[in-house]
Amino acid sequence: MRELALNAEERSLLAAVPAGGGPTEPPTAEPEPGERYARVVWSRLAEPGDGVAGLLIGALGASGALRAVIRAGGPGELAERLSDAPETRRELRRRLGPALERWRPRLSRNETAGDLRRAASAGLCTVAPGDALWPAQLDDLGVHAPALLWCRGEPALLRTRSLAVVGSRAASAYGEHVTGVLTEAAVVEGVTIVSGAAYGIDGVAHRTALACEGPTIAVLAGGADRSYPRGHEDLLTRIRERGLVCSELVPGQAPTRWRFLQRNRIIAALGVATLVCEAGRRSGSLNTAGHAAELGRPLGAVPGPITSVGSAGCHRLFRERGAEVIGGVPDLRELLGAGRDVAAEAGEDDPAAPMSASAEQRRVLDAMPGRGVADALGLARRSGLSPAEVARTAAELVTLGELVAHQRGWQLP
C-alpha cells in the first residue's frame, strides 16, 4: 500500500458496505470516501484501544494519518509533523517507533479489500465519527476511541439512552433472577440494554430485553460477522434482527483475552450508567466497571450474601469504586436518573502509558497457533505488536515456560 487514492474496485467495495443511517436520517456531512476508507484500514492496523493510533488520527485525520504512516521514512519524520516542541517530538518519536513496527506488517490493500467483501457478504455497515449515527459518548474515550464501528442490525440504537448490564459468566440462579428483574425495569423506562453477549449475566440481559420487546446492543470482541460464543449463535441472530451487533474489529477477526478487555471500554462508554448484577472477585465485568468509573459514568452493583464468592466482586466495587447499592427497581431508577446528568467531559487514560509486560505476554499467547511454529512477523500481524516487541516478549515467555524456542520461531509446549 503506497497511497490512499482509491481505484474503481475499491470504490465499489466501499459502496457495498454503507455508512450507518438511512433515507430517514437528517442530512449530514458524511466522511469523504478517502477518510472512510482510511478508518476501515485503521480498524485493521491498530489493536483496540491503541492510544498512539488515536493520537495520530486526532491530529491528522484518519486519511492524513494513514498517508503519514505509508510515506513517513521513520518516527522522527512523523513526529516532526505533529509537534513543534523539541521535547514533545522526542516523546512522540519514542512512542511512534514501536507503533510503526506494529502497524506496517498489517498494511495490505488486498486484505482491506477482503475485509470489505466479508462485510458486504454479512450485511454489515460502518458507523464512523461524523456520521449522523455516531454515538458522541464514545468520544469520551479520547485517543482510545474506536476508529469506526462495524454494525449489523439497527445502528440508530447507538444514539439511544443505554444502560450497560454486565456480570459473571458463571451466574447463579440469584444473579440471573435479579438481572431479569432489573433489565425488565430498565426496558420499561425506555432504556436500551448494552452488553457483551457472553454466557451468564450478559445473555440473561439480552434475552430479557428481547422478551420485553426492548432494544439491545451486543458489543463483540471479535468481528461483528462472527457468532461468539458459539452457544449464543441463535441469540446473536435474534439481536441482529431486532437490535444491534457491533464491533470495532474488521470482519472475520477472532476474539482474544486482550480484545475482550478492550471491548469493555466501549460497553461502558455507550451506557449512561453501568450495572453489575453479579461478579466474582476476578470477573471480567469488574474491568467494565473500572472503565465506567474512569469515564465518570454512574456505577451500580447488586449486593449478595457475604458468603457468596459470586458476589465478592460486587462488594469489592462498593469499597474500591464507590458503586451505588442497587437493592431493587427504585435504586435502578435513581442510577438511571444520575445517568442523565453525566458530564460531557470525562477523564482519559494517559496515551503515553506503556503497556504492561503481562498484557504483551497475553497478546502473544493469544496469537499463538494451537499447533506448529509461529515466527515473529506472523505473531506481529496477529497480535498487533511490533516484531521486536514479539521477540522480546516471546523470550520472556520461554523463560516462564509458556513457550518453547524453535529455530524458526516459537511454539506452545
Mean pLDDT across 273-300:
94
Q: Are 281 and 313 in contact (CB under 8 A)?
A: yes
Q: What's residue 119's pLDDT?
A: 96
What band does 83 get if pLDDT is binned at 50, 70 and 90? low
- The mean pLDDT of 379-405, rounded to a whole number, is 83
The contacts of residue 298 (CB under 8 Å, 6+ apart) are 272, 273, 274, 292, 324, 335, 338, 339, 342
Q: Read off the pLDDT band of 356 (50, 70, 90).
A: very low
Average pLDDT over residues 271-291: 94
pLDDT-derived band of residue 137, with 50, 70 and 90 as boundaries?
A: very high
Q: How much is the average pLDDT of 395-404? A: 83
Taking 90 as the threshold, does the pLDDT of residue 184 lie above it?
A: yes
Catalogue the long-range contacts made by 79-85 (C-beta closer than 8 Å, 24 or more residues apart). Answer: 82/55, 82/56
113 Cβ neighbours under 8 A, 6+ residues apart: 9, 10, 13
User: Given this model, what pLDDT does residue 390 score?
Assistant: 85
Cβ contacts of residue 343 below 8 Å, gap of 6+?
296
pLDDT-derived band at 64 (thresholds 50, 70, 90) equals: confident
User: Which has the minimum average pLDDT: 21-25, 132-136, 143-147, 182-186?
Assistant: 21-25
Q: Is the pLDDT of residue 6 over 60?
A: yes
Which pLDDT belongs to residue 20?
73
Please give the single-letter amino acid code of residue 359.
Answer: A
Q: How confident is the model at residue 33 (pLDDT cuts 50, 70, 90)?
A: low
Say what the pTM is.
0.80
Q: Compute the distance between CA of residue 413 and CA of residue 406 in angstroms, rounded to an integer.
A: 11
| Cβ–Cβ < 8 Å for 165, 179 | yes
Task: Give 102-130 pLDDT, tens digit per residue.
Answer: 898 899 999 999 999 999 999 999 999 98
pLDDT score of 8 more than 50? yes
Q: What average pLDDT does this structure show over 127-134?
A: 92
Instruction: Beginning with the edge strand found earlier in the chain, give each strand of the sheet holding 324-325 in spatial order.
Output: 125-127, 149-153, 244-247, 216-219, 192-195, 162-166, 273-276, 299-301, 324-325
For a pLDDT cut of 90, what percent of the chain falls above it?
59
Determine the residue type at 346: A
Decide: 258 and 283 in contact? Cβ < 8 Å: no
Q: How confident is the model at residue 82, as a pLDDT?
A: 67
Q: For residue 280, which of 342, 201, 179, 370 has the smallest C-alpha distance?
A: 201
CA–CA distance, 73 with 76 (Å, rounded to integer): 8
pLDDT at 74 over 70: no
pLDDT tops 60 at residue 343: no
| Interatomic CA distance for residues 363 and 189, integer angstroms | 40
The mean pLDDT of 278-304, rounded to a whole number, is 94
Q: How far apart are CA 151 and CA 137, in angstroms?
A: 17
- Mean pLDDT is lowest, of 64-73, 329-338, 342-351, 372-381, for 342-351
Residue 82, number of CB atoms within 10 A of its CB? 18
pLDDT value, residue 248 = 97
Query: Is the per-residue pLDDT at 9 higher than 70?
Result: yes
Highest mean pLDDT among 54-63, 256-265, 270-279, 386-395: 270-279
164 bridge partner residues: 194, 274
| Cβ-contact 177, 283 below 8 angstroms | no
User: What's the pLDDT at 73?
Assistant: 64
Dihedral sign of CA atoms 81, 87, 88, 91 in order: positive
pLDDT at 89: 56
Nearest partner of 386 among 99, 108, 56, judged by Cα: 99
What DSSP assignment string belongs to 348-384?
A: ---TTPPPPHHHHHHHHHHHS-SSS-B-HHHHHHHHS
Question: What pLDDT, in 10s, does the model give residues 191-226?
Answer: 999 999 999 999 999 999 999 999 999 999 999 999
Which pLDDT belongs to residue 355? 40
* Higher pLDDT among residues 89 and 147, named by residue: 147
Sign of CA dihedral 315, 319, 323, 329: positive
Angle at 259 between CA 82 and CA 163, to 5 degrees: 95
What's the mean pLDDT when you consider all of the chain? 86
Model pLDDT, residue 357: 45
Confidence of residue 266 (pLDDT cuts 50, 70, 90): very high
Single out the residue of 397, 396, 369, 370 nearest to residue 381, CA to CA: 369
pLDDT, position 398: 84
Half-sphere exposure of 227 (CA within 13 A, CB side): 12
